[in-house]
Structure 1
Amino acid sequence: MKGHRIRSGVAMAMIVFLAACGGRNETPPGRPAEPERPPTRETAQCLSDLSAQGVAFRRLPDKTTGPACGLYGTVQLLDIGVPVNNLTAVRCGAARAFSGWVRNAVVPAANQILGSELARIDTFGSYACRNVVGTAGRGDRRSGHATANAVDIGGFVLKDGRRVTVLNDWNSADPATREFLQTVRRSACRRFGTVLSPDYNGAHRNHLHLEDDHARFCR
């Protein structure tokens, strides 16, 4: 009986010891497994610029999402003055260019050319881990969307109920509608490095591709 109590005591001591050893390797509750990386100088300046512009946003954590794909220095735009559909992570520089384009170009163009306030912008999103369209078999041709550095614009909804889309209205019979779309493209070319439209190729027949890459390519 005495030997049984000794063996039981030893077993309990081993359980406590092992539990204590295991506990030292666990992440304490409420703490992240890895500390959040501080923003780079470029991203920090961009975040400051967004705040100065009165843009509401949330900084997103950096992460690798696939070969040559990832989210680095990205934000989620919460309020730029006009609702925007289907937009999640956007690299900060692209977000800064986008919010400036909407506020200073698209909104005034809607009022002045179409005679109505802008109610909403419809996008096809920003982030997608993929190659440039037409280069699926070439790993060195990642799209700007692979790092959330581009936004695809599908259309614009006005407060008077009209909806202007790139697909249906790029060559509209209405001269004001055509002028509006051409105007917002020209203004985008002054803010983004690459701007692609239906004039570029069939893959862009239904959207404007806006990318913050300093390429100086507008088509």
Structure 2
Amino acid sequence: MRWGTWARTGAAIGIALSLAACGSGPTRTDLPTRPRNSPPIVLTQPPSRATQACYADLLQQSVRYSALPDRDYGGGCLLTGTLQLIDYGVPTTNLRAMACPLARTFVAWVRYGVVPSGREILGSPVVRVESMGTYACRNTVGTRTINRLSEHAVGNAVDVSAFVLEDGRRITIERDWRNPDPAVQDFLQTVRRSACKRFGTVLSPDYNAAHYNHLHLDLGRGGLCR
């Protein structure tokens, strides 16, 4: 992208941040307790410095994105400092609201972990990633902690289901996690290990039956890689 386009993008973000800072609507601390999945309330608190720095990092890394308004959906389901990835070089399905640090980490994982692993192990780079989505206002599933809010409920998690190679092959978690082909096994184990170095929690079919068809990646404090 030409410098002029990036400059306009940066200026637009700056204007948006300034307008957000001047808003008079509710902030997180103003909101009453509401049932989960209530009609969303748009928040007008300014983005934190960490979020602004994250936006700047993505621009420097040639990532196109759209910053999203902060929203509260009740019951602890809250989106602040989120964005939607538009283009980072590898088409990815079903990406909606993602917390900016999650998006930044996800981009790095795909670019520097997933794509080269396909090239080096399977002889063809990954050119497309398929996800099952990001934000969902719900509790965790498949665990004993049934009343624990999922990282998906704050836009801090993404579920990845498949990888498409340049040569047309499609490697899915559901079908290929226990594929007898050692190269496919090596590829999937390598991308999981790469994810474990970057994300706070990585869950695969090896964790429980609820993850039979995807890799769950989040930036929570779980510290679990399985």
Alignment match of 2:137 (pick from 115, 129, 134): 129
Which ranges in structure 2 are unaligned for 5 or more consecutive residues? 1-22, 26-42
Q: CA deviation at 1:66?
A: 2.4
Q: CA deviation at 1:136?
A: 10
Match of 1:80 in 2: 88
Q: Does 1:179 align with 2:179?
A: no
Q: How does 1:22-61 map to 2 (within 5 A)?
A: 34=25, 36-61=44-69
What is the rounded CA distance, in whole Å, between the counterparts of 1:67 and 1:135 in structure 2?
20
Shift of 1:138: 4.7
Please report how far the alpha carbon of residue 117 of structure 1 lies from its aligned counterpart in structure 2 after TM superposition.
Answer: 2.3
**Alpha-carbon shift at residue 169 of structure 1 (Å):** 0.5
Match of 1:207 in 2: 214
What is the aligned length?
A: 187
> Conserved in 2, the CA contact under 8 Å of 1:198 and 1:205?
yes
Q: Which of residues 71, 80, 90 in structure 1 aligns to 2:98?
A: 90
Residues in 1 aligned to 2:217 and 2:154: alpha-carbon distance in whole angstroms: 13
Identify the range of structure 1 (40-49 vs 97-106) with the bigger mean alpha-carbon deviation.
40-49
Correspondence 1:63-212 to 2 at 5 A: 63-134=71-142, 138-139=146-147, 141-212=148-219
Residues 54-110 of structure 1, C-alpha deviations (whole Å, 9 max, x = no match): 111111000101211021110100111100001111011110110000001101001
Distance in structure 1 (CA, Å) of the matches to 2:159 and 2:118 = 19
SS state of the match for residue 199, structure 1?
Answer: coil
The structure having more radius of gyration, on CA atoms, is 1
Gap regions ≥5 residues in structure 1: 1-31
Q: Distance in 2 between matches of 1:69 and 1:136?
A: 20
CA contact (8 A) 2:79 2:154 kept: yes
- Deviation at 1:134? 4.1
Shift of 1:137: 9.4
Identity in percent = 54
Give me the whole-angstrom Cα distance separating, in 2, the residues matched to 1:41 and 1:136: 36
How far the C-alpha of 1:36 sits from its partner, in A, is 4.1
8 Å contact 1:192–1:214 — kept in the other structure?
Answer: no
**Are the counterparts in 2 of residues 58 and 76 from structure 1 also a CA contact under 8 Å?**
yes
Cα distance between partner residues in 2 of 1:158 and 1:104: 15
Q: Distance in 1 between matches of 2:206 and 2:46?
A: 41
TM-score of the aligned structures, taking structure 2 as reference length = 0.78
Does the 8 Å CA contact 1:88/1:127 hold for their aligned counterparts? yes
Q: Indicate the residue corresponding to 1:15 in structure 2.
A: none
2-structure distance, mates of 1:209, 1:134: 12
The SS at the match of 1:85 is: coil
Higher mean displacement: 209-218 or 87-96: 209-218
> What TM-score do you get using the length of structure 1 for normalisation?
0.81
Q: Given residue 199 of structure 2, which amino acid in structure 1 is its aligned partner?
A: F
The 8 Å contact of residues 195 and 217 in structure 2, kept in 1 or not, is answered as yes
